[in-house]
């Protein structure tokens, strides 16, 4: 069995469900079990290992392959260790033909297995890069608050290139959209339902706003296009207002998901929405429903290290994806980041998550070849 498949099977059998989706005491919660196992695996291959603080009891794992010579550059391989929740069967790796089923198979224990196997193969091989330090970081909490990548970036850690592990079908992704969770609130005036003319209906005001966002604003965003990412979008997700039928509601809250393009900021989106509401004579307080908003990411694909990776795997054009990941955070922290890994995002978070073993093996070989090509 290919070492990456063997490692992936072991990882699937060790639950590491993000505690946000379970009670903290649940035996399947947390990344520690997987981090300890990877730590032991890497240490027995002769690699330097270290835990780095992220959340209490949930450290990031850092594995290092030091070059024999003076360090001139540093490459970071950064997949996440947490998964979404699963039924018990999800923790039993099952092979059917080319597919290996199990929770995390593609998102992203497949990337963990590919990246660490590539580093171990390099450590065991005859030659390793003479002046390039390679760091593998097993990050926690990507599926919820991205605390792992934030902690790493906040610690001042920087690399010349970060390859963030997500299932991209072994394509180099240089851009992804941002995700801003907006929260809009309208205020009205309560009155008896029999005398609505005495009140101001906050739900009706919100209904007009929702209509405006889903029609005029959405059409406006459709025209705003990025060559790799297509257009920005807005989608109203929840709406809550009023307490009972016979009271004119004085308050309504709506949340929406705004997917942004490189160049758009939280402030620019807020300003744009304020102008839109003002022009339509509508009023709402605009805030956000999540402490950290996901910023869009775009890395220059002409950077020499990115170009070298392109050449190694025979890719000619950069690719963009819709989803947000740790690459945005590492990139904002000063490390040029790309996303790469085996598997297809279509299988992520599904009940019967799987990865193609061919894709896993190919991805591992591509990473190994790239790392080996470095000076």
* Binding residues for Zn ion (CB under 5 A): 107-108
**Could you give phi then psi for residue 228, rounded to 5 degrees?**
-100, -20
Identify which of residues 92 and 144 has a Cβ nearer to Zn ion in the complex.
144
Query: Which residues have a Cβ under 8 Å from the Cβ of 125 and sit 6 or more positions away?
Result: 372
Least distance CB 36 / Zn ion (angstroms): 21
Token pair recorded at residue 137: 């970081």
C-beta of 108 vs 359, nearer to Zn ion = 108
- Least distance (Å) from Zn ion to the CB of residue 142? 5
Q: By three-state DSSP, how is residue 223 classified?
A: coil
* 308 vs 234: CA distance, rounded Å: 36
Nearer to Zn ion, 107 or 264 (CB): 107
Complex with Zn ion: residue 108 or 364, whichever CB lies closer: 108
Indicate the residue among 250 and 359 with the shorter CB distance to Zn ion.
359
Minimum CB distance to Zn ion, residue 348 (Å): 6
State in angstroms the smallest separation of the CB of 349 from Zn ion: 9
SS3 state at 129: coil
Cβ neighbours around 268 below 10 Å, total:
11
Residue 335's contacts (CB-CB under 8 Å, 6 or more residues apart) are 76, 153, 157, 158, 159, 160, 161, 162
Q: How far is the CB of 254 from Zn ion (least distance, A)?
A: 28
148 vs 336, beta carbon nearer Zn ion: 148
Provide, rounded to whole angstroms, the least separation between the CB of residue 149 and Zn ion: 11
Of 204 and 290, which CB lies nearer to Zn ion in the complex structure? 290
DSSP one-letter string for 217-285: IHHHHHT-EETTTEE-EEEEEEEEE-SSTTB---EEEEEEEEEE-TT--HHHHHHHHHHHHHHTT---E
d(CA 60, CA 81): 9
Nearest distance from residue 290's CB to Zn ion, in Å? 17
Using CA atoms in the order 201, 202, 207, 210, what is the torsion angle rounded to 10 degrees? 160
Instruction: Please identify the residue of the shown chain whose CB is closest to the bound Zn ion.
Output: 107
What are residue 63's DSSP bridge partners? Answer: 49, 136
Q: What are phi and psi of 279, to 5 degrees?
A: -60, -30
Whole-angstrom distance, CA of residue 75 vs CA of residue 136: 8
Q: Compute the distance between CA of residue 128 and CA of residue 104 in angstroms, rounded to an integer.
A: 30
| Closer by beta carbon to Zn ion, 20 or else 303 | 20
Q: Name the token pair of 220.
A: 């406006």
Task: Please report how close the Cβ of residue 80 comes to Zn ion at its closest, in angstroms.
Answer: 6
């Amino acid at each position: 069995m290919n070492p990456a498949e063997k490692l992936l099977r072991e990882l699937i059998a060790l639950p590491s469900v993000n505690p946000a989706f379970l009670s903290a005491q649940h035996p399947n919660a947390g990344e520690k079990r997987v981090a300890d196992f990877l730590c032991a695996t890497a240490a027995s291959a002769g690699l330097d290992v270290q835990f780095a603080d992220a959340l209490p009891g949930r450290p990031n794992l850092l594995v290092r392959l030091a070059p024999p010579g003076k360090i001139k550059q540093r490459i970071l391989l950064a997949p996440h260790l947490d998964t979404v929740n699963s039924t018990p069967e999800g923790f039993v790796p099952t092979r059917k033909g080319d597919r290996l089923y199990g929770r995390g198979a593609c998102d992203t224990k497949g990337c963990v297995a590919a990246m660490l196997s590539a580093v171990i193969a390099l450590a065991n091989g005859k030659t390793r890069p003479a002046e390039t330090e390679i760091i593998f970081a097993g990050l926690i909490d990507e599926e919820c608050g991205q605390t792992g990548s934030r902690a790493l970036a906040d610690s001042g850690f920087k690399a010349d290139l970060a390859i963030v592990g997500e299932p991209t079908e072994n394509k180099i992704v240089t851009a992804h959209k941002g995700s801003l969770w907006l929260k809009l609130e309208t205020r009205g005036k309560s009155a008896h339902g029999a005398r609505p003319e005495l009140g101001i209906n906050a739900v009706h005001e919100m209904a007009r706003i929702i209509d405006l966002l889903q029609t005029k604003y959405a059409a406006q965003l459709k025209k705003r296009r990025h060559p790799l990412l297509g257009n920005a979008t807005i989608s109203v997700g929840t709406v809550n207002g009023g307490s009972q039928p016979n009271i004119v509601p004085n308050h309504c809250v709506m949340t929406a998901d705004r997917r942004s393009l490189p160049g758009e900021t939280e402030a620019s989106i807020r300003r744009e929405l304020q102008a839109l509401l003002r022009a339509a004579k509508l009023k709402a307080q605009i805030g956000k429903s999540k402490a950290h908003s996901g910023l869009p990411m775009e890395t220059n694909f002409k950077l020499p290290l990115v170009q070298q990776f392109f050449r190694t795997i025979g890719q000619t054009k950069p690719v963009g994806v819709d989803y947000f990941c740790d690459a945005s955070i590492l990139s904002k922290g000063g490390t040029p980041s790309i996303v790469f890994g085996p598997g297809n995002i279509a299988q992520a978070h599904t009940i019967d998550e799987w990865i193609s073993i061919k894709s896993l093996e190919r991805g591992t070989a591509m990473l190994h070849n790239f790392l080996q090509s470095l000076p």
